[in-house]
Every structure is written in structure tokens, then in C-alpha cells.
Amino acid sequence: MTRILIVGHKGQLGRALFNTSTEHELLGMDLPEYDITDAASTQYALRDMRPQIVINTAAYTNVDGAEAEPDLAYRINAHAAGYLARFCEELGASLWHISTNEVFDGTRSGQPYDEWDLPDNTHGSTYARSKLAGENVVRFYHSRARIMRISWLFAPGGVNFPAKIVAAADRHGALRVVDDEFGVPTYAPDLARAIFQLIDMKAPPGVYHLVNGEAASRYEFAKEALRLTGRDHIPITPISHTEWQRPAQPPLRAVLANRAAAALGVTLRPWQEALADWADAFRGQ
């Protein structure tokens, strides 16, 4: 049995990891008890818990909010990731770090991004740049890190895109949703199972893209969420991203392909099937 520390265990993915059946011993680290932006307390906590594996799910994920709070975004997404990497290396613990599709600029058309493609989003949002900095600092401090990129994470009971869509539909009675931004939805329970599969097979260090199948537009994702929750009568109009002004513009086509994990036999089902499970849980709330 392996002692695994889940950093950010109160978030969507952290909860999914704790709810996944496993023989491993699971520990949690999250606010307010632990602040990973404090290097000294983080080092003390890791030395006290002595995990063999650390899964870092903690992140500042408010893409628009990061434009107003860049220092906080970098402290959490980059500096804290560096502290974890450095102290894991000192303790001999392996680090599994969650990153994002937004490390790519999303200008590639017709072909997804593979794990070996070089990330570059130097002109993207503050969130994107902070997450790319996090990847780089993890690689710098830890010799055997696994970096797992995901996109459009959603989970039962979480604050996520389909939940916001359903709430907005109920509130307004009609929706306008961007149809020229593409990604691959990632269902937290499926992602959690995939991570444990990779851990159990002792997957080699490197980058893994773990997402649920093929690409979707925001419009397609929203339309299916409405259908599965019995709201397909609510009008939904596709619009261009230029018609939806926001502080930070995500990459328009940062679509990830799962090559590395799939080569080891680890894949996630289509996002439509995962969204159906999400809708079942949503109706039961």
C-alpha cells in the first residue's frame, strides 16, 4: 500500500480521487489547514506526512479572476508548485502535477496537441502563463515528475461549465454560447480512475494528456448538458467568441490528444457518456 498525498483534496478532482476505490492510503492537504504558498509550512507538512506520492490538484483556476489577481495566480500555480516539486525531490516522493490545455496558444487547426508538442502561450491569459510557469518549475526541481494536462474539468456537485449552463438556462430562459472555442471535456471521476491506473502500473515520468475523447465546442457541450437534464426546450444560440467579451480569452482550439497514456492502455470514455453520468448525479442533488 502506497501513501498518497492529495494536495487540494477539497476541489473537484481532489474529491473524485478520494471517492475512487483504491487500496492506497490517501491523505489530504488543503486550505485553511495548509497553505502551499508558504514554503516553510509546506516543507514541514510533507516531512511530517512522508508521502510516497504527491498528486497536486491545487490551482488558481479562475481564468478571468487571474487578470485582476496575477500575483495570487502565480503564487499558487507556479511558486507553490515549485515548493512541492523541490520538497518531493528531497523526500524521494514522486510528484504528479495537474496542468491545463491552456499552456498551448490554440492557434493550430485540424490537429490536436500531443504530449511532445512544445507548449507556448506567452501571449495568452495570466492563468495560462502561470500554469506554464508551474510546469516549467516542476520540471526544474523534480527529476521524475508526471505532468497531466486536462481541459474543461467537470464533476458532480462542482462549480463547472455544465452546472453554470444549467443554472443560467433556468435563470434566463434562453442562452447564447460561444461555438468557436474548442476543447475536450474532462470528467473528474474518470480522470481520477485514470490517474490511479497510471500510478498502479508505475507509469514513467513525463507528460500525459488525460481527457474524455474527442473535441467539442462550448456550444455543443452546453447543448448536450441541456438535453441530458431535460432542458432541450430552452433556446440556445451559437455566437462567436468576439460577441462574448471577458477579461481573459482562452485559446480557441487547445484540443488535447491522449497518446502517452493510451499507449499504456489508459483511455477515458467519450465525454458524452461521462456527461450523462454527470446529469444523473445532477438530477439526484
Residues marked as catalytic: 127
CA–CA distance, 78 with 138 (Å, rounded to integer): 8
**Cell numbers placing 25:** 492510503
CB 184 within 8 A of CB 256: yes
CA–CA distance, 27 with 93 (Å, rounded to integer): 14
The answer to whether the peptide bond before residue 205 is cis (omega within 30 degrees of 0) is: no
CB 185 within 8 A of CB 154: yes
Strands (E) in the chain, as ranges, are 3-7, 25-29, 53-56, 94-100, 146-150, 153-154, 175-178, 182-183, 186-187, 206-209, 216-217, 236-239
Q: Percentage helix, strand, coil, to 5, in the chain? A: 40, 20, 40
CB 225 within 8 A of CB 168: no
Q: Is the four-CA dihedral 192, 194, 195, 197 of positive or negative sign?
A: positive
